[in-house]
Amino acid sequence: MVIASAGSPLQTQIYGKAFDKLTKYITGGYDGMGDFVADIRLLCGLIMVVGVVRMFFTWLSIHLWLLIGERQQERARSRLLSNLLDQNLEWYEQKENLMGSMAQVNRCIEEVRVALSENIALLVQGSSSIVLLLVSAFISSWSLTLVIMASAPLMALSSIIFGRLTFRFANEENNLSAKASKILDWSFVSGNLVRLLNGKYRDSVSFNQIVDKSAKAFIKMSLSIGSNQSILRVLSFLIFVQGFWFGAYMVSIGKLRVGQVLTAFSSCLILGTHVSTVANVLALLNKGQAAASTIAEFMEFEEDENKSIQDPEVIFDPILSGKLLQLEGVCFNYGASEKPNISNVSAEISNEHFTFIVGPSGCGKSTLVSLLMKFYSPSSGRISIDGLDISSLSETQVSSFITLVESNALVFDKSVYENIALGSREISEEKAMGACDFAELGTFVRSLENGIHSKISSSLSGGQMQRIGIARAYLKNSPILILDEALSAVDQITRQKLYENIRKWRKDRLTIIVSHELSDIADGDYVLSLMNGEVEKYKQQKGDTFGKQKTGSLEKFSSLEDSESIFTDGLNYGPNKAKDLEHGSNSDELQILSVFAVLKHCYHSIQSKLLIMIGLLLSLLSGIITPVLSFCFSKLLSNVVDQSTKLTSKEKGAFFWSSIVIGLIVFDGAIYFTSHFLLAFSSERWVVDLRKKALVIINDQDMSFFSRKYSKPAELTALLMNDARDLRNLVSEFLSAVLSLIALTLLGLIWSIVSGWKLALVGTAFVPLILLVTVSYGLFLSKFETRYKDKVGEVEKFNHNAVSGVKTVKAFGVENDFQAGLKTKLSELSSVAKLRACITGLGFALSEMCVSIATGAILYYGLYLVASMEYSYESMLQVLTLLTFTMASASTLMSSLPEIARGQRAGTLFAQLLSLTASPIETSGTDQIHKHIQSENVMSFENVSFRYQESDSVQKKVLQDLSFSIKRGEVVGIVGASGSGKSTIASLMGRLMDCDRGLVKYESKPVKTLDPLCYRRNVAVVPQRPKFFEGSIWENLLYGVDKAFIDKAFVVECLKLCNIWDLVSSMQHGLDTVLDERTVSSGQLQRLCIARVLIREPKMIVFDECTSNLDQANADIITDLIISKLHQSNPALAIVVITHDVEMMSHLPRLLVLKDGEVNQDGDFETLSSQMGEFKRLTT
């Protein structure tokens, strides 16, 4: 870059020598015109040669700097994931707004990449040029250079002051953007719950408030940047005037030649341009510094106290058989909690028998498992395996011989094979299929279009995901296996088969099972019973005590669909929806819209149209001022030539033109600041409005929207919060640059033609060449920029998946596998980045070369015309200055094209969003539900049919002419086998989907005719898996509630009904306590979830497997609540219970038994049990 930057001072030296030759010719120093033309031809040819040589070095240097930026980006993303995976789970649970911060860090990495590539390249080039131009200027005339550069300290002072302000406001904007990203991540990942609880409006309000604050920070930053750029622009132009007077004086007294003045003058003038460029770069580097500060703050990881200075893996790699696990006085408490979660737990667990850990919700079962996995370390006591204290082992070593399978087994967005082989090495397809058969998944996997290599996602049912977890554990085959509610979502028949398989596989191998299902305990198993974090008893099971105690009441026969719950990510509820998701439109490449097509699509969302028009008009005026300034400069230069040729000095004219130039410079600075600020202000308002509108549009889509390409939660968050910044540049930079360029080019060319048409035509001939290079470069760059951003999106999504599933990653010890996977993704990104860097560097280089060739040609022909007496030197200088300014300004558009290309991609995606029509199920209907108008049937299904779209040509029929009704005050259970349609019914009741045929009615009105908000206030759903956002218990309980005032006593009463008030009241801040999943069990979270629904006082509640995560005592409390207490407080309340708990069914007055999408049986428990039919088949 330094070599490339040497071209400017070298060209200015040649430029000055050319004018010395002209002076010599005018004063009779040449014998004839031929000698003069020969010398000029050589000098102008050298200008062209320097431009060509400079092109190669510029291309190479920009290419290399871009690759350096890419290298730093790769290192940052790789280190980010590596450091995140190195943290223990305690760090994750203490980290607030993790996913929102990650989205912002991704953007900051991009800003740092830009700062370290394009901007550092420009900084090096600009700084080198400044130094070399100063040297060139001092060589020509040190005195004139000092006079010209007198304003340099002011430039430096301005850069320092406004640079600090820019850093401060950029940091503030980054922090606010992270908070906004947190809201988006919750809204998109938990889209079903957000819709059912009417929370999308609350989220929109919170999001709008934060992005408004973020916009204020950006506007302040724009003020700082605009002020600095305007000041530097004025000072750099004033260099011309302050140098003119002194230069003219030195020429008049014979101290300097005109060539020396022009060389020094040109050097300082170009130097001023470089100073302005460096100032702009420094402003961007300040943003990059703020971004780096955000990344550093996020990556301030605390050293794990349990890690020794030297990694245990380096010291030794133990070989453990896993025959004996000992707990000796183990205690543990979370954070500053006064009451220990685990207290003095001691036990010896042998491989000779299965060990069950049981106890009520919140007793410490999951905490104990986390200690065994070394996710946390005991505050006191000792855990050892085969006599070896695990505190001396690393997490990776522990996970290598202990496998944990949890109830919410995570499925990654990969193929079935890749999901099952997670953590295993060199697994053949046959072995993987064997694991599928072991986990009772073989039939399902073989039904997929691409078999075991079909791509799946978290749209699988809960039972299917759990069995994938079992298959993983089977392949890993570690000495110790821990199943933490790992089969809670599997139907009873499959559950029994799996336990038979597991008992055969794990014979004489240490196996620990955490379960609420006491019926799973067999004769001879050991039972470790916990109560309030202490060992209540630990003994061997004799006989069928637990079986008799339960009398089979907890037997579960539910289908895969039972477990599926309507709260899985995406709308793919059908059990066979996992058909190869790679097919369809997702493979289509994004068709990038042109800039003006993007603006046309987004035009109606622009609120500040008047301000944008004013800003663009001022940009147009700024473009007009440039050729006017060049004309005035030519007049001043003519005066210097007059002094050198001893012609009559035009001092009055010089004073007049100097005054005009000063006035124009100040006026131009004011216009530049005003136009840029107005465009930045209005474009930020536009982007903020786009973000708000896009969120509303996304919230108005059904859940199938999130399964489309570019519509995954992480991608949408990045689009709204990160890529929108690129879109902002289309208005704030591209439109103003284009208008200024058009005005400058047209006026400059027209003016130059009027002043001297012969020379102007030569210059005009180069304009199409420069425009052709610019347009071609823009087209190629847009293509590669889109590919590049797609690859960046894949990398960010990969990191998002790894972090969101960090517990599974650590449990299987596959941190290295994910880092290797990231390395592959980064390699793919690097391949595209190299091509992109090549194209970007070539574009810059060709632009500079075209300007150099054009300058050499115009200078040669201009001097030739003066020598042949066709032009006066004044006319030649006038045309030459106009053309040089015009072409130099035209080439500056090239530097904006990379940002414009990124903005086009973001604009295309936003245009797609804005063109979406709202889903009728989310927006249709205006009828209200009036309390005084009540029908006998609260909910009814009339000949309802529903099909899932499995692929482009295959549909899966789930419901077929289904009809039933639920009366006011009635309690109804819905049960059925695999594929019977229970979760589909729950989704239709929650108004998450629409039926293909028939009607779903509420209060005798079709659901779609009712206002969605009103409907969801009256019909509430309790999900199988509770979800809460980062906030206080009070905020979570009242999420989506639109009542102006909520009586705290009523909230407390609801919590007491759910047997959860004692826990809440025992917390340090009561209802204002921030929910911490480390101190709240899944069962306790489920009870909070039920209380959240009761606070809404709905007319109908749908319980979707609401007792699946509860121990028997709490399950009995919830059953009693559903059967009697709720009706005591509200006799008209209708209740629907989707369950596979036989104990729960035995208390329900009415059961609907589904088969093949129809109601096969309808009656009470005793009647159905005595009849031969589907119900008896399922429960036998």
- Give the tens place of pLDDT for each residue, 284-333: 777 778 788 888 877 765 544 444 444 444 455 666 778 899 999 999 88
405: which strand partners?
Answer: 483
Residue 584, pLDDT > 60, answer no
| pLDDT tens per residue across span 22-67 | 778 877 778 778 888 888 889 888 988 888 888 888 888 888 888 8
Q: Which of 522-526, 629-633, 952-956 has the highest mean pLDDT?
A: 522-526
The pLDDT assigned to 645 comes to 59
User: Rounded mean pLDDT of 67-82?
Assistant: 88
Q: With CA atoms as reference, report the closest residue to 249 among 663, 651, 656.
A: 651
pLDDT, position 942: 92
Backbone angles phi, psi at 677, to 5 degrees: -70, -45
Residue 1101 pLDDT greater than 90, yes or no: yes
Q: Which pLDDT score is estimated for 308?
A: 42
- Residue-wise pLDDT for 639-663, tens only, equals 666 665 555 555 556 677 778 888 8
How confident is the model at residue 1158, as a pLDDT?
A: 87
- With a cut of 80, say whether residue 508 has pLDDT above it: yes
Q: Bigger pLDDT: 162 or 116? A: 162
Three-state DSSP state, 967: strand
CA distances, 1164 to each of 554, 667, 1148, 1150, 1170 (Å): 18, 87, 7, 5, 10
723 in Cβ contact with 909 (< 8 Å): yes
Q: Residue 483 — very low, low, confident or very high, per pLDDT cuts 50/70/90?
A: very high
pLDDT category of residue 5 using cuts at 50, 70 and 90: low
Confidence of residue 213 (pLDDT cuts 50, 70, 90): very high
Answer yes or no: are the C-beta atoms of 286 and 166 closer than 8 Å.
yes
Distance CA(561)–CA(565), nearest Å, equals 7
C-alpha–C-alpha distance, residues 373 and 405, integer Å: 11
Query: β-strand 380-385 against 388-389: which pairing, if any?
Result: antiparallel
Task: Check pLDDT > 70 for residue 619.
Answer: yes
pLDDT of 780 reads 77
Q: Is 793 helix (H, G, I), strand (E, B) or coil?
A: helix
Among 418-422, 1091-1095, 1135-1139, whose mean pLDDT is lowest?
418-422
What Rg value do the Cα atoms of the chain yield, rounded?
37
Contact 141, 250 (CB under 8 A): yes
Q: How far apart are CA 384 and CA 587, in angstroms?
A: 51
pLDDT at residue 1102 is higher than 70: yes
The residues, any chain, with a CB within 8 Å of residue 1037's CB and separated by 6 or more, are 1051, 1071, 1088, 1091, 1092, 1095
Tell me the pLDDT tens digit for each residue of 518-576: 888 888 899 999 888 888 888 887 665 554 444 333 333 333 333 344 444 333 333 33
| Predicted structure pTM score | 0.71
| 3-state SS track over 968-981 | CCCEEEEEECCCCC
Residue 394 contacts residue 816 (beta carbons within 8 Å) = no
* Among 140-149, 307-316, 1001-1010, 1118-1127, the least confident range: 307-316
Q: What confidence score (pLDDT) does residue 309 get?
A: 41
Over residues 145-171, mean pLDDT: 81
> What is the rounded CA–CA span in Å between residue 363 and residue 536?
10
pLDDT of residue 567: 46
Q: Is the pLDDT of residue 229 over 90?
A: no
Least confident of 35-49, 207-221, 604-618, 742-756: 742-756
The torsion of the CA quartet 688, 690, 691, 694, rounded to 10 degrees, works out to 160
Exposed, middle or buried by CB within 10 Å (0-12, 13-18, 19+), for 512?
buried
CA 1093 distance to own-chain centroid: 31
Do residues 534 and 343 make contact, with C-beta atoms less than 8 angstroms apart? yes
The DSSP code sequence of 220-256 is HHHHHHHHHHHHHHHHHHHHHHHHHHHHHHHHHTTSS
Contacts of 174 (CB under 8 A, 6+ apart): 104, 107, 108, 290, 291, 294
Delineate the domains of the chain, giving CATH numbers in brackets. 2-300+607-914 (1.20.1560.10), 324-457+460-567 (3.40.50.300), 921-1179 (3.40.50.300)
Q: Which residue did the predictor score with more confidence, 526 or 142?
A: 526
Spatial distance between the Cα atoms of 434 and 998, rounded to a whole number of angstroms: 43
Residue 989: C-alpha distances to residues 459, 945, 1003 (Å): 20, 14, 13
- Amino acid 695: pLDDT: 93
Q: Copy the structure tokens of residue 170.
A: 């950029």
pLDDT at 931: 66
